[in-house]
Every structure is written in structure tokens, then in C-alpha cells.
Amino acid sequence: MKLVRYGAPGAERPGLWLDATASEPARILDVRGMAFDMDDYDARFWRTFGLDRLRGLLLEKKLKTIPAEGVRLGPPIARPRQIICLDRNFRDHAQEMKMDTPVSEFPGYFLKSPGALCGPYDSILLRPGMDCVDAEVELAVVIGRRARDVQEADAWSYVGGLTIMNDVSNRDLQKARPHNFFAKSADTFGPLGPWLVTCDEIPQPYALTMQQRLNGDVLQKSSTAHMIFRVEVVLADLTRVMTLEPGDVISMGTPGGIGSAHHPPRLLRDGDVVECAIDALGAQRNSVAMSGG
């Protein structure tokens, strides 16, 4: 299944994306219109076996749908409790950032503000003085049930689905501040989506091509096969010390090729268009605009 949230910012409704067929274009199943108590893709949805209920809706004879064309998509989950990001999870990215690749047996983490999230086709807004901003295509994991002391062999049973995160980053702030949080957490610096794809539709999560294009030029192209720490390792590691709750997001790091590492640098500017795509998970397309302050 492909979970979406559609409608105006702050007023999104939960839906299911129904791909185009030979006889009709893509449509969106109106989940709330068919099950009034399924208000959003939030923590309650995950706690009340929401995915199983969605599968039941799809079996009904009369589906309430709307045409997908022209409908705004928001982030495919309601604002999560936390976004945990992996640092230096691709060797080529660590090298281009002039960092050593991890030498310990454990991943490195930082947080990104949930307030940075925006829709997969919304504008990325730059404020005055943001002169060195990059896009980063990343695989994002959404937790589907409460996870504590997870064993690697069981890790995927805790995953609700996968989606795309563009971890937009202010490199000037990243250099000036001791931690990544401030450089990564500006409003609109986290396009998410377009869909949250359930794991049954992705049998090979470590064979997905990842790509970022800027104004049509490919800057990043890699594969989830090149991640240093895989999802099961990360979930086992995190849950040794913390409980992950349904709806939490873990963004698995970006490969090499970011714009600031190109010669000359390819930084985000007013009027640019950024596209981030991952096999089976769709593609984002975000314009870049100045917010005016």
C-alpha cells in the first residue's frame, strides 16, 4: 500500500494512493470518508492496527476515491514525535565532507526538528543569508509499533513503511555550530514522501537506486546497498537505550554527490528545482524560493 496525506497544509486527510491503470488515471482513496475514526496517520493509527484496517477498506465493494491529479500531498505521516538521522552512513559522503568514515562498530546520530517537514512537492524556502544550502536524498524508515530491545532478526517487524526524506542542510551553519540540529531544522528543510510504502511492496530494500537531480542534472546517484549500517542494525542499536514509538522517523543518511562538494559548488538558489527519487518509493519535486525573511 501507498499511504498519502492530502489537502491544504495543516488540514491534510489520510488517503491511499491508487496507481493509474489502463482505463483510468491515479486516484486517492478517501480513508476518513470510509472510516470516520481513522482521522490521520498519527500515533493512534499505528497503535490501533491501522495498516490491517486499511487492507480491509481496500476489500470493500464501493471505494470512495478522488482524482489524484492536482491534489496537494503533504508528508505521508502526521507530524512525528522525533526524526533521528544517521551521520556518515555512506563512505563516499563522509569523504566528500572531509570526515573520517566510522571507525567504531556503532552508527552516529543527530536529530532533525519535526517542524522542518513539508510535502513532497512543496517549496523549499530559503531565508536571507542562507547562501550554502544542499539537498540530500535519503531513505526514511517509519516505525510501526513500539520498539524496545529489538533484535536484528526481528527489526523489520517494527517498521511501518519506507519513504523518501530530503535532508536539506545549511552548510554554513553546520560548520559554525557544534551540532547538526540547527543546520538541518529550518522550516521546509524536510520534504517527506510522496508516499509511505508498506514493506510488503519492497522485498529488496537494499537494492534501491537513490538519485538527486538539481535543475535536471544528476548530482547524487547511489544505492541503498551502499549504506554502512543497515536498518536492522540501527533499530537494534537505538532500542538498547530508548523506546521508539509508532510514527517515529529514522532517516538513513545520504550518499556522496551533494551540491556543495561539486566543483564548482551546486548550491540551492531561488528558482531551482530539486528532485529526489528512490526506486519503489516514488519521487519528490520541490521548487526553491526565497521566503522574504
- pLDDT at 123 exceeding the cut of 60: yes
Indicate the CATH number for domain 83-290.
3.90.850.10
Q: Exposed, middle or buried: residue 271 (CB in 10 Å: 0-12, 13-18, 19+)? A: exposed
pLDDT at 293: 59
pTM of the model: 0.96
Tens of pLDDT, residues 229-251: 999 999 999 999 999 999 999 99
Tens of pLDDT, residues 197-207: 999 999 999 99
Q: Which bin fits 280, alpha (ψ -120 to 50), beta or left (φ > 0)?
A: left
- Categorize the per-residue pLDDT at 104 as very low, low, confident or very high, splitting at 50, 70 and 90: low
pLDDT at 178: 81
pLDDT at 98: 65
Sign of the C-alpha dihedral computed for residues 208, 77, 119 and 88 taken in this order: negative
Give the 3-state secondary structure of residue 30.
strand
For the segment 111-135, the average pLDDT, to the nearest whole number, is 97
What are the start and end residues of each CATH 3.90.850.10 domain in the chain?
Answer: 83-290
pLDDT at 95: 79
pLDDT at 279: 98
Instruction: Tell me the average pLDDT of the chain.
Output: 95
Strand partners, 28: 17, 66
- How far apart are alpha carbons 44 and 268 in whole angstroms? 37
- Categorize the per-residue pLDDT at 91 as very low, low, confident or very high, splitting at 50, 70 and 90: confident
- pLDDT at 14 exceeding the cut of 90: yes
